[in-house]
């Protein structure tokens, strides 16, 4: 499934689409489990319900999520694309956009939100419903992973999640206004079917527009994986769930044998 040509495309573009990465019935069963979370009004502290539903880091307490993250084809796909010997699970991140919602995901990089540095850090954005550009499919600025820049993280929602823990680190650059100069950027966006996945690195600039489809919601699940060169790097503004107090890894070290980062694949 993962050819040398595809790996080279991933390295050049920063994101690639893998058709049928996950079987359709598996995608449907994951969506059914997410629907049970949506129906459950007992929010976890990461739950966001603005214009849809978002939650993250469910795998430690929800076996169905761990099963999907660890035992689907995703770890091998991302491991081979990252050219890593081992892939470890970091966290799962659910993004549901209601039909017709004006809520979007602003252009951002993942790297400044996460307590890791390294080049072998990537996500698999798995479509759980069909979607396209107009119905909020994820978009990527081709090649932006190679710009050598780290853009300031921003609040995605005032209803919890990242809004409370963003740092004001002067080292961050401001995100350019990509939508104001569309001819300056090449945007990658695929028409997705349930089970298709986009693999992208933590440095690429990406986002998703509002869901203009007033009859269909858009649901996706991004799983974050780390590879050989990932080093623990807890900085101001990074995600408060997996913090220094909770892990057995020190800054600058690789997260070997830590219960928060289970090994889910190795090249054999
Ligand atoms: O699906 C979305 O709306 C955002 C996806 C995203 O930002 C991610 O997976 O990192």
Question: What is the C-alpha separation between 256 and 268, in angstroms, rounded?
Answer: 17
Say yes or no to pLDDT of 226 above 50.
yes
Question: Is residue 144 one of the residues assigned to a domain?
Answer: yes
- Which residue segment(s) compose the domain that 216 sits in? 4-243
CA 169 – ligand 1 centroid, Å: 23
Ligand 1 centre to CA of 105 (Å) is 7
In this structure, the residue with its CA closest to atom 1 of ligand 1 is: 95
Pocket of ligand 1 (CB under 6 A): 93, 95, 105, 110, 123, 125, 138, 206, 208, 220, 222
Residue 222: its H or E element: strand 218-226
Query: Would residue 131 count as lying in a domain?
Result: yes
How many whole angstroms separate alpha carbon 39 and alpha carbon 60?
Answer: 20
What lies within 8 Å, CB to CB, of 223 at 6+ separation is 68, 69, 74, 78, 89, 91, 92, 93, 123, 124, 126
Looking from the CA of residue 208, the nearest atom of ligand 1 is 3
Tokens matching residue 134: 């107009």
Residue 255 lies in a domain: no
What's the pTM? 0.95
Q: Write the CATH number for 8.
A: 2.60.120.620
The answer to whether position 170 is within a domain reads: yes
Residue 195 lies in a domain: yes
Q: Is residue 80 part of a domain?
A: yes
| Residue of the CA atom closest to atom 7 of ligand 1 | 207
pLDDT class of 169 with cuts at 50, 70, 90:
low
In a domain, 266, yes or no: no
- Determine, yes or no, domain membership for 248: no
The total domain count for the chain is: 1
| Torsion sign (Cα): 261, 226, 112, 65 | negative
Question: In the predicted model, what is the mean pLDDT of residues 182-206?
Answer: 97
Q: Quick one: pLDDT band at residue 80, thresholds 50, 70, 90?
A: very high
Centroid of ligand 1 to alpha carbon of 95 (angstroms): 7
């Amino acid at each position: 499934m993962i050819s040398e040509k595809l790996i080279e495309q991933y390295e050049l573009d920063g994101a690639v689409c893998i058709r049928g990465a996950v079987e359709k019935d598996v995608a449907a069963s994951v969506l059914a489990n997410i629907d049970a979370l949506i129906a459950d009004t007992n929010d976890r502290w990461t739950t966001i319900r603005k214009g849809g539903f978002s939650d993250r880091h469910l795998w430690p307490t929800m076996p169905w999520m761990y099963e999907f993250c660890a035992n689907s084809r995703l770890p091998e796909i991302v491991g081979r694309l990252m050219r890593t010997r081992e892939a470890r699970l970091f966290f799962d991140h659910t993004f549901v956009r209601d039909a017709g919602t004006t809520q979007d995901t602003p252009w951002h990089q993942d790297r400044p939100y996460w307590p890791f540095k390294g080049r072998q850090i990537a996500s698999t954005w798995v479509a759980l419903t069909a979607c396209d550009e107009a119905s909020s499919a994820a978009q990527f600025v081709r090649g932006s992973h190679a710009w050598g820049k780290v853009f300031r993280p921003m609040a995605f929602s005032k209803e919890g999640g990242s809004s409370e823990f963003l740092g004001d680190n002067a080292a961050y650059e401001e995100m350019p206004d990509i939508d104001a100069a569309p001819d300056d950027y090449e945007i990658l966006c695929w028409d997705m079917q349930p089970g298709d996945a986009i693999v992208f690195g933590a440095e690429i600039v990406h986002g998703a527009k509002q869901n203009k489809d007033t009859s269909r919601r858009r649901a996706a699940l991004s799983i974050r994986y780390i590879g050989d060169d990932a080093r623990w790097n807890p900085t101001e503004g990074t995600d408060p769930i997996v913090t220094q107090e909770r892990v057995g890894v020190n800054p600058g070290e690789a997260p070997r044998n830590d219960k928060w980062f289970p090994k889910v694949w190795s090249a054999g």
